Structure 1
Amino acid sequence: MFLQFIRHQKKAWIKLIAISITWTSLCTLLLMHYGLNLEGALLDSIIFSLLFLLGFMLLENIFRFYIPTKGNKILVFILPLFLSVIVLYSGDFLVKWTIPDALINTDFLHSIFVVRGFIILLIFTAYSLMLNFQGKLEEQVAAEDREVKMQQMVKESELYQLRQQLQPHFLFNSLNSISALVKMQPDKAREMVLQLSDFLRGTIQKEANKWITVQEEISFLKLFTDIEKVRFGHRLQVNFKVESGIEEMKLPHLMVQPLLENAIKHSLYGLTGEVIIQVDFRKREKNLEIIITNPFDPKAGQAKGSGFGLEAVRRRLFLIFGRYDLLKTNASAQQFTVELLIPQLS
């Protein structure tokens, strides 16, 4: 990084020297064209070129740290005017002081004094306007960058809050089940506590890593379903089907679990007998598609709840991908289906 900075500075100085030599040479030729000899024209050009360079550096340092506001726009024109007067009179004095009378034409210098001053003013004003415009652009870019970062921070904060809400949502249900099992079936209660411990440990370990592979997600979901089976016994069966070759595709952590929890809750409500839930992972073009299918009886009504699971997932998808079309639901006479599409970031 340091070497790149040195090379950049070196290139900048080479460009500056080349521009200065070109400008001085052109000024020398112009003055020679109007009657000055080579030595006088060259010295005159060098003096004014150095004063120009100092003026440019002064303007650049001023506008680098201060961009005039609407009330101070006049400074963009006053500073070049003030600087032009200083450069014009200083240059005229230095030319007459350093160049011998034999090498200069005093009448010619007097005749071009006003014209030279006007040209100096035009150049400094143009450079001042350019620096001011560049500063406004840099401010705009910086403001947009801050806005993007602020929006990203808001998204990250909301995503974190959603994740923190999702975990207690499942945890409270599990603790209620453990409480119910403690007296009637203590062995199952103990089993569920151990499984819940493993589940929460895996959740905490994945907290820093927002994206996990399909293989990791399925292991996580199987642990979750094992806990649910302790709650609901033989009535619950969850089948996972994974298309070959997609095990390393990735998805955000805790994206499928609330959907599966929602499917379990609504499947067991109002239905008797065994409940089979199907979870399919497959590739759809370049994206990962997850389809959760559960039995559904609309006549039995709906399980009590706020619908937090679906809404949380839908909100997380929008915050991550900026899209509302990645989660779809479909309810038929006896089946409820959730289709989840996860775009792959790489």
Structure 2
Amino acid sequence: MNFFALLQMGFGLQVSFTDSIVNVLMLSLASMTIIQTFRYYHPNPSQFWIILLLGLVFSILFNIAAKLVLQAILKDNSEYIRFLNESTFLRGTFALLMVEWMIILNLLWNMLKQEIKQRNMLEETMVLAREAELYKLRQQLQPHFLFNSLNSINALVGSKPEEARKMIEQLSTFLRSTINRKEDDLVPLTEEMEQIDRYLEIEKLRFGHRLNTNISIGENCDKALLPPLLLQPVVENAIKFGLYDTLEDVTISIETECMEGFLQVTVSNPFDPTSTVSRKGTGFGLTAVQRRLYLLFGRQDLLLVHPEENNYITTIKIPQTNV
């Protein structure tokens, strides 16, 4: 019963205080018991009858324990003992409401924690799956370039051993820089372009004077960031469709521009619509780049490929947060 209500009913300060303290202690004990119980037992929310039954059991035990303790402490106060017996139903109803309320709160709290835990597990699983797919995409891109380079080295060993040795050194430098890099690590544009320069040096040894490049870095792009090795498949794709169907000299252009919120990289290669075999899709390299961009930034519109007069244009937009 409420401390002030007992005082208003004429009971003394000691009796009112004792009654309140005992009920608070018993209620605290019931709360601790409920919390410990539902740490290990999580009933299905549809099993509402179990919740009611548990509440009824706890309230009965709570009421009996409180009554026994109060009778033992205040046994000499006959007026209070009579009042205690007459208010048994009221106390039991109050105890039932309090216990049921504590059980419901505890169940809701446990359900919330379980939902948060499951959500965190789902997010961790999605992150692991995303990282695994990104790693797989990068690993699939490397063998294609590596096989072409090794074939070129094999062709140069007999006729031009010095160029073959130089190509092996450049290939080693290029591959070394791709090892032990996490997919989530963004690299500066300058570092990525250094990697592109290494790649182009290897390709120039393969194609000789036929391959020319024109690289233009836009202003205010010093702090621009992008995923590592994102541009190499795009440049490789441009070389493939720019040189494979012609014996003439070809210039591959790479232009970067920093605009509000984006780093835009444009790679273009010339092609002859009358002699070039029609492209079916964008090829695995560009498909992998588009998939990487989607996994990293959640957007499908960051890679655009289109012909323009006698040039094939590939445009990549990389979202920026510090440019």
Match of 1:76 in 2: 51
Match of 1:45 in 2: 20
How do 1:64-213 and structure 2 match up within 5 A? 64-69=39-44, 72-102=47-77, 104-207=79-182, 210-213=185-188
Deviation at 1:245, TM superposition (A): 2.4
Question: CA 1:110 to 1:248, structure 2 compared with 1: closer, same or farther past 3 Å?
Answer: same
Deviation at 1:345, TM superposition (A): 4.9
In angstroms, what is the RMSD of aligned CA positions? 2.0
How do 1:225-244 and structure 2 match up within 5 A? 225-244=200-219
Match of 1:336 in 2: 312
Which piece of structure 1 moves more, 300-309 or 69-78?
300-309
Q: Once the two structures are aligned, what percentage of the paired residues are identical?
A: 35
Deviation at 1:208, TM superposition (A): 6.9
Q: 2:244 aligned to 250, 269, 278, which one?
A: 269
* CA deviation profile, 1:228-253 (whole Å, cap 9, x unmatched): 00000011111211112212211101
Question: CA 1:104 to 1:213, structure 2 compared with 1: closer, same or farther past 3 Å?
Answer: farther
* CA deviation profile, 1:272-323 (whole Å, cap 9, x unmatched): 3221111111112121111111112122233899811111101111111111
* CA deviation profile, 1:28-69 (whole Å, cap 9, x unmatched): 101222332221111011111100000011111111232112
Question: 2:219–2:258: 8 Å Cα contact kept in structure 1?
Answer: no
Deviation at 1:103, TM superposition (A): 7.7
Question: CA 1:44 to 1:207, structure 2 compared with 1: closer, same or farther past 3 Å?
Answer: closer
Match of 1:258 in 2: 233
Which piece of structure 1 moves more, 209-218 or 163-172?
209-218
Deviation at 1:120, TM superposition (A): 0.4
Match of 1:326 in 2: 302
The structure with more helix, counted as a fraction of residues: 1
Q: 1:313 aligned to 281, 284, 289, which one?
A: 289
Question: CA 1:304 to 1:343, structure 2 compared with 1: closer, same or farther past 3 Å?
Answer: closer
Deviation at 1:259, TM superposition (A): 0.1
What amino acid is the match of 1:330? H
Question: 1:287–1:342: 8 Å Cα contact kept in structure 2?
Answer: yes
- Gapped runs of 5+ residues in structure 2? none
Which piece of structure 1 moves more, 245-254 or 303-312?
303-312
Paired residue secondary structure (1:67):
coil
Match of 2:35 in 1: 60
Deviation at 1:192, TM superposition (A): 0.9
Which piece of structure 1 moves more, 45-54 or 302-311?
302-311
2 CA distance for matches of 1:176 and 1:247?
36
- Gapped runs of 5+ residues in structure 1? 1-25
Question: 2:188–2:226: 8 Å Cα contact kept in structure 1?
Answer: yes
1 CA distance for matches of 2:156 and 2:79?
109
What amino acid is the match of 2:211? L
Paired residue secondary structure (1:297):
coil
> How many equivalent residue pairs?
321
Question: CA 1:91 to 1:319, structure 2 compared with 1: closer, same or farther past 3 Å?
Answer: same
1 CA distance for matches of 2:109 and 2:245?
68
2 CA distance for matches of 1:191 and 1:99?
100
What amino acid is the match of 2:91? R
* CA deviation profile, 1:203-242 (whole Å, cap 9, x unmatched): 1154577321111011110010000000000111112111
What amino acid is the match of 1:253? P
Paired residue secondary structure (2:312):
strand
Match of 1:31 in 2: 6
What amino acid is the match of 1:174? S
Question: CA 1:103 to 1:303, structure 2 compared with 1: closer, same or farther past 3 Å?
Answer: same
